[in-house]
Amino acid sequence: MADVVLAMHVAFVLFVVAGLPAIWLGAALQWRWVRNLSFRISHLAAIAFVAFEAVLGIACPLTVWEDALRGSFTSDTFIARWLRRFLYYDLPGWVFTSAYLIFLVLVALTWWRIPPRQSRA
């Protein structure tokens, strides 16, 4: 089960990180979906959640959940080992907090420069 939580965590990170360049590229190529209001609200909310939990010093719930499920069992599956290498880095907390806040500002500026549109019903 811990591997499933880890996979969800990686998917969340990919959504946040890949979402921004996808919006920029999609705007340049006139892809309509990058202006979808639901997608854009979800993307902004995701990075805002990450940035604010970092500012407040709150551990990521997915990391806490994975660690609790893994317990003292430290042997990872092959895929889990690679996903953890992708996801976790040994850097000071301020580096991550700064990166999250900068990314949040970029997403907010993108919202302004490439505004979402409500779908027509």
**119 located within any domain:** no
pTM of this prediction exceeds 0.85: no
Alpha helices in 29-92 (DSSP H): 37-55, 61-70, 78-87
Tens digits of per-residue pLDDT, 64-98? 888 888 776 666 666 666 677 777 777 888 888 99
**118 located within any domain:** no
Phi/psi of residue 58, nearest 5 degrees: -90, 130
Q: Domain of residue 79: give its range.
A: 2-113
pLDDT of residue 107: 97
Handedness of CA 91, 96, 98, 99 (dihedral sign): positive
Distance, CA of 48 to CA of 98 (rounded, Å): 13
**34 located within any domain:** yes
pLDDT of residue 75: 60
**69 located within any domain:** yes
Give the count of domains, the chain: 1
Output the CA–CA distances (angstroms, integers) from residue 2 to 48, 50, 69, 76, 102, in the order listed.
Answer: 25, 20, 5, 9, 30
